[in-house]
Structure 1
């Protein structure tokens, strides 16, 4: 057995040596070559039955421990995989039936022959135990208490009227019945199954991302195939269901519905001029229904549903019937005046903004398919009639008067696929803009629209004219859309109260701007960016916020693997790729993009407490590889693998592949944590606390609940009780957190992935409830489902 073990060690050494030599030639660490020598010498001495083999292997374990601590310190998840295989083989060598056959071991004490190896194995175990006791990535702190009284939201405390509860997009509820002291007693009250599940022919990204609304005694939600369902808020009993009957055979990149929009009816006559130049007051305050007649089938209140076949439908919240007086028989056709019309290539995945007299909608344009795509136009329609009031076309930004019949909007402009916010007192809507397509090819972009790419744009509600624009990435080549709804909050500063806008970004920067002017409240500076690689022009500098969760640049020592071998493979990959830090341009060689286009933040955004003026954030960290693939013609598919042209960039000189940076085992090549929860002080611009969040239970081959910190998709909410809720991690849990410290207070297992933002409301008896959607996410590979789950405290 000793000889067989020796040959095994020699083979391991040769394999590690080949990889180690390659890594050293690429400029990486010499450790693997030295370790390979240790394996080979140990193996050779084992074959020769010499007891010195155990001494050599003891030196290998000792050297590995010293090198590992030098590279990563006492970080358990980075430290232990470096030596796990080596220590395990050391234990094997200590077994009597292995080392008994070595010449000389029978004539000398065991402690002399194998003692040094036993000592190093014990030291390695002690080092692992020591590192398990601490987390070098953890940041402890306490967020401040209330700085200001909570402003009047204009709706009942127990209601949730918009995606972010109100048009301010704070995802904050004034309900305070659930507190850090009692949240651990939450229990499941009821579950409703929608019946809409992922099926044959659906795109990969068929996913539940909906945050339901709660108005009076009813919950309203939409499903991935755009069914609208009304439920009794107390019992979960279905009240009505509406199916827009979209064509499931159309090829789409996405199949989702993030939510509905609610119009509560018109105000009583209070002197405001509907559609005038005056600022429009906050929707939902003192609302009364406008009278109508039964003959015109007018809906006094309305739900607005954007659909996957590019319609905007108005429904009556009472019974789900279509409001026939809106648009053309109840719907507005969003394909109107669009260039390059092709089914599935444009629709609004997010709920529109609704104000006193208008509904404002953008739309998602397919990424990286072609240089000839639909427009990213933002349009405002009359909330009653569906008449087009204005259109803001990024390629023709100054002319916002309704487009003439027969004309088309500018093609391939930046689009807004996420959720906008609105301040009706200031008369502004705040639009998070995506990148100008194709995402990774930025040559010959329209300069008129390029300044709106990956930016926040403030548009006047009355006219659609640009009030200000703040660009978060110049000449975006990385798909760094502004992905989330900006949160609007008034901040108490030394200069007085400032009406602010808080915008999280994919690259991890959190921009805090004066929402009147777009000027930074928290400092922003332009920083030098990596130079062009010759394929296309790049910006010399890129903006960076002082409030940021942007990770530090990756190094070779940050490469990770579950074993010595896949970690070595990741190091080789890292050194083969082009990498100059954040904003490394795409290349034919392959460029490492970190943070990747999955984003530190995505559409879930932040939750903001307007009293404490703090934010609860859920940053995620995954690197991607962006590779340009030369195109020989404008029609051949080079990279899409049967998908609807994804990555082909028809009309550009390069297609693109964009993939996660993974090891041969399918694990991230950069070391964990990959996901956190974090508490931000928006006044001081500081990250106050930060803790790894989530386990690999549902992603690992063996379902072990290791708290490594995993990415999430789907945002958090905050309550006045001092509790935050989030369900979007890649493990199937909903969790409650202490807003002050970030400590996890409670969790419950979900039947499927919870990649949606929860919400909270009160029932007819005033009892606070927490609602979670567990439907899974196709792109992330989480389990599909169709569950709407409501929790509450025991009566």
Structure 2
């Protein structure tokens, strides 16, 4: 038998391997050519040709395949480090397939069939060629290890620890250990003066009690069925609500149920959201008008998904009969065509309660039609439910209560989040959203252009406008002002100023004089990309704050920032990046498809930030996720059908109405597709980290530290605890003990942080997603400081559903 015949079996492995590798090389070369044609990197063409040549040489059984592949490995290392530095999570998809193929090529079943020439003996003939490949793999491994121990995204720093100001003058209730409103108080700062839990002892926290509400998602509930609840605590009682708007009172010491109230909501199938972020509390004070017949001197206000505002006796949970009609005010009163729009308007956020008034806003369904209910804000007598004033941003001058037969302006900008109030100044601060549809604004009027995506100060007594600060002009990106403004008195070079801190989806923090709306930290109007859809326009400039949660390098994304699990889906993301329109922040929506970064998920969403008014610092959990929106021209047929928009599924060539996916925008010339910017296998196209914790020095006007936050344990197919920095939805709280608490990451944990450095101090596993903002209080009987978190999950984010309210305390 000839020598060639004896070696035939060993050479089958190189032949088969060569065919597979050549195929991979052809795919990478073709994709790389597409990318180059779009103006992208040449690497994939060159690497693809190298892989293709390697495969061809393997098919021929030539040991030179290892030399060629050594060049591919070394070139990949040089290119990757030059493009993104020592960033492990960026290096991994660039080199994982390349490295694994290199290791495979050194395996005996491959190498024993390689020869230098057809007449050479196979054994040992490969070894000289294998040395360079082995050396380049060692280099790649060393670079990988160096990247694993470095953190190019970590910004370290230390916040000031000195007390810069006394506690706010209206903080007596919090000093007594209560948490009387969604944001701790009407200031919305999410700060507690309790200091029993400190960085030194927080690691000893343990579960004090757990309560299960029994309110779980039903088969007919909308996808956006969520627990976004922050409880409140007054005296010896904790008050909560559930997604189906059940109000519940719990013993603050033990979590034992005291009473429940079920409003039996009329749950429409076209509801976009089913959530209750919290309830509000009012207590009769000396000198204030008394409630009818002395009833309900302490009351809980519950907003519902069928657009009611209900007043309950805080002691018993029974409706207060003197408020409205049997304890209920209908928020449909005054709405245009209420019968045609049931399910399209309601309030998911707790109202603001002042000494005499309860002030409530509401949301309208996003991106369904141009014929939506009004975004009116209304103030009711806290005792009787009589309408005291109404502020409709579509008719801002007329705030006196409208009369019978009158209606508010349809589709005026709405406020779906939580407001703040300063009763000493007589002002309530309203964070405004956009006018729907979000991505097309060709028919918006002057009032919309004034109030949309703004924070607006209204006179508490009359509802009249005192000032307006707009964060986005002619908003085409769904950049609603999403979060409750935080109020504090801030030391400036001109003395101590009553300030308002407004967090935004764009990541800018606007620090304003809350008396006038004038910026304390500078705001600059800068030119932005132009060219909106047909019939629309873009604002020539946008307001940029000098204080942003995004670093300058993170304010835009590049082709080099594209990511994936492997080089193949990373290449696909690069091709898609080059195929879409992107000219930086405020790239207008387009028929081509535009990248929106930061996306409408928000750098900050409804959870807001936490502000320490004593140290004059803030703590935040910013996200950075890119989205893609694409305008879909409406056909003539669907334009005619859109005149009848009573039913969400009817009258459009794209059905449904959500904050993501296909949105009909009935009545507008475009529907819109809005989705996260993902790879073909569902990974984010944008490289991690996607989520941080950050510390802000408000006096200095700068972000002092940023640290990656959260793991992919509950996002990956197998529970890998990689700390990549994941998105979060919900907000943090701060305490005088120097500890911040946060639950809102997409992995199921409650975490505690050293406020001064941002270092994580403690965590505990939650039974479900924790997309909510915690709170803290002192239990009256034991004097124990408890931290309460809610783990119920978030439907549209896909986190595990649950119904748990959990209190933690020191042993």
Which TM bucket (shorter chain)? over 0.9
The answer to whether structure 1 residue 557 and structure 2 residue 560 are counterparts is yes
The aligned residue for residue 582 of structure 2 is 579
The aligned residue for residue 166 of structure 1 is 185
How far apart are residue 106 of structure 1 and its match?
Answer: 4.3
The aligned residue for residue 792 of structure 2 is 775
Q: Quick one: distance in 2 between partners of 1:250 and 1:385? A: 32
Q: Quick one: distance in 2 between partners of 1:455 and 1:229? A: 34
Q: Quick one: distance in 2 between partners of 1:683 and 1:405? A: 50
Alpha-carbon contact 1:362-1:416 (below 8 Å) kept: yes
**Match of 1:312, SS?**
strand
Deviations, residues 524-556 of structure 1 (Å, cap 9, x unaligned) = 000101011452100000000000023321111
The aligned residue for residue 15 of structure 2 is 3
The answer to whether structure 1 residue 101 and structure 2 residue 120 are counterparts is no
The aligned residue for residue 90 of structure 1 is 102
The aligned residue for residue 70 of structure 1 is 82
The aligned residue for residue 355 of structure 1 is 354
Given the alignment, which residue of 89, 92, 95 partners 1:80?
92
Deviations, residues 454-508 of structure 1 (Å, cap 9, x unaligned) = 0000000011000000000000001000000000010011211100000000011
**Match of 1:254, SS?**
coil
The aligned residue for residue 420 of structure 2 is 421
The aligned residue for residue 648 of structure 2 is none
Q: Quick one: distance in 1 between partners of 2:123 and 2:793? A: 64
How far apart are residue 107 of structure 1 and its match?
Answer: 6.2
The aligned residue for residue 214 of structure 1 is 233
The aligned residue for residue 640 of structure 1 is 655
The answer to whether structure 1 residue 762 and structure 2 residue 759 are counterparts is no
Q: Quick one: distance in 1 between partners of 2:773 and 2:158? A: 24
How far apart are residue 79 of structure 1 and its match?
Answer: 1.0
Cα 1:293–1:381 shift into 2, 3 Å: closer
The aligned residue for residue 695 of structure 1 is 711
Query: What TM-score comes out, normalization by structure 1 length?
Result: 0.96
The aligned residue for residue 149 of structure 1 is 166
The aligned residue for residue 336 of structure 2 is 339
The answer to whether structure 1 residue 650 and structure 2 residue 649 are counterparts is no
How far apart are residue 329 of structure 1 and its match?
Answer: 1.3
The answer to whether structure 1 residue 323 and structure 2 residue 320 are counterparts is yes
Deviations, residues 611-649 of structure 1 (Å, cap 9, x unaligned) = 110000100011111111111223332223587996111
Given the alignment, which residue of 665, 670, 674 partners 2:686?
670
**Match of 1:119, SS?**
helix
**Match of 1:244, SS?**
coil
How far apart are residue 128 of structure 1 and its match?
Answer: 0.4
Alpha-carbon contact 2:777-2:785 (below 8 Å) kept: yes
The aligned residue for residue 43 of structure 2 is 31
Q: Quick one: distance in 2 between partners of 1:156 and 1:652? A: 48
Deviations, residues 393-416 of structure 1 (Å, cap 9, x unaligned) = 111101111111101111111100
More displaced stretch, 396-405 vs 532-541:
532-541
Cα 1:642–1:496 shift into 2, 3 Å: closer
Matches within 5 A, 1:603-618: 603-618=606-621
The aligned residue for residue 280 of structure 1 is none
Q: Which runs of 5+ in 1 are unaligned?
A: 275-289
Q: Quick one: distance in 2 between partners of 1:791 and 1:534? A: 52
Deviations, residues 136-170 of structure 1 (Å, cap 9, x unaligned) = 11100000012122223131421100000100000
**Match of 1:205, SS?**
coil
Q: Quick one: distance in 2 between partners of 1:522 and 1:59? A: 53
Deviations, residues 669-725 of structure 1 (Å, cap 9, x unaligned) = 010000000000111110000001000110111210100000000100000000000
Q: Quick one: distance in 1 between partners of 2:755 and 2:656? A: 45
Q: Quick one: distance in 2 between partners of 1:618 and 1:437? A: 27
Given the alignment, which residue of 60, 67, 78 partners 2:72?
60
**Match of 2:451, SS?**
coil
How far apart are residue 569 of structure 1 and its match?
Answer: 0.3
Q: Quick one: distance in 2 between partners of 1:792 and 1:393? A: 45
More displaced stretch, 224-233 vs 549-558:
549-558
Alpha-carbon contact 2:364-2:372 (below 8 Å) kept: yes
Alpha-carbon contact 2:179-2:776 (below 8 Å) kept: yes
Alpha-carbon contact 2:368-2:657 (below 8 Å) kept: no
The aligned residue for residue 742 of structure 2 is 726
How far apart are residue 96 of structure 1 and its match?
Answer: 1.1
The aligned residue for residue 310 of structure 2 is 313
The aligned residue for residue 646 of structure 2 is none
The aligned residue for residue 226 of structure 1 is 245
The aligned residue for residue 542 of structure 2 is 542
The answer to whether structure 1 residue 464 and structure 2 residue 467 are counterparts is no
Q: Quick one: distance in 2 between partners of 1:432 and 1:407? A: 26
**Match of 2:524, SS?**
strand
CA-based RMSD: 1.4
Q: Quick one: distance in 2 between partners of 1:614 and 1:638? A: 49
**Match of 2:317, SS?**
coil
The aligned residue for residue 51 of structure 1 is 63
Alpha-carbon contact 2:563-2:684 (below 8 Å) kept: yes
Q: Quick one: distance in 2 between partners of 1:597 and 1:643? A: 12
Q: Quick one: distance in 2 between partners of 1:672 and 1:415? A: 33
Alpha-carbon contact 1:209-1:756 (below 8 Å) kept: yes
Given the alignment, which residue of 258, 266, 270 partners 2:277?
258
Q: Quick one: distance in 2 between partners of 1:64 and 1:743? A: 35
Q: Quick one: distance in 2 between partners of 1:136 and 1:112? A: 38
Deviations, residues 289-331 of structure 1 (Å, cap 9, x unaligned) = x48647xxx2111100010000000000101000010011111
More displaced stretch, 544-553 vs 354-363:
544-553
The answer to whether structure 1 residue 787 and structure 2 residue 804 are counterparts is yes
Q: Quick one: distance in 1 between partners of 2:298 and 2:443? A: 46
Cα 1:640–1:519 shift into 2, 3 Å: same
**Match of 2:58, SS?**
helix
The aligned residue for residue 199 of structure 1 is 218
Alpha-carbon contact 1:368-1:646 (below 8 Å) kept: no
Matches within 5 A, 1:244-643: 244-265=263-284, 267-269=285-287, 290=290, 293=293, 298-341=295-338, 342-535=341-534, 536-550=536-550, 551-632=554-635, 633-634=638-639, 635=641, 636-640=651-655
How far apart are residue 268 of structure 1 and its match?
Answer: 1.5
The aligned residue for residue 113 of structure 1 is 129
How far apart are residue 189 of structure 1 and its match?
Answer: 1.7
Q: Quick one: distance in 2 between partners of 1:215 and 1:616? A: 25
The answer to whether structure 1 residue 706 and structure 2 residue 718 are counterparts is no
Alpha-carbon contact 2:277-2:349 (below 8 Å) kept: yes
The count of aligned residue pairs is 772
How far apart are residue 340 of structure 1 and its match?
Answer: 3.7
Alpha-carbon contact 1:205-1:779 (below 8 Å) kept: yes
**Match of 1:204, SS?**
coil
Q: Quick one: distance in 2 between partners of 1:123 and 1:106? A: 28
Q: Quick one: distance in 2 between partners of 1:659 and 1:293? A: 54
Q: Quick one: distance in 1 between partners of 2:469 and 2:249? A: 38
Alpha-carbon contact 1:364-1:417 (below 8 Å) kept: yes
The aligned residue for residue 4 of structure 2 is none
Cα 1:351–1:534 shift into 2, 3 Å: closer
The aligned residue for residue 185 of structure 1 is 204
Q: Quick one: distance in 2 between partners of 1:108 and 1:92? A: 17
Alpha-carbon contact 2:377-2:391 (below 8 Å) kept: yes
Alpha-carbon contact 1:340-1:411 (below 8 Å) kept: no
Deviations, residues 368-388 of structure 1 (Å, cap 9, x unaligned) = 101111111111000000000
Alpha-carbon contact 1:736-1:745 (below 8 Å) kept: yes
Query: What TM-score comes out, normalization by structure 2 length?
Result: 0.94
Q: Quick one: distance in 2 between partners of 1:534 and 1:198? A: 39
Q: Quick one: distance in 1 between partners of 2:223 and 2:106? A: 50
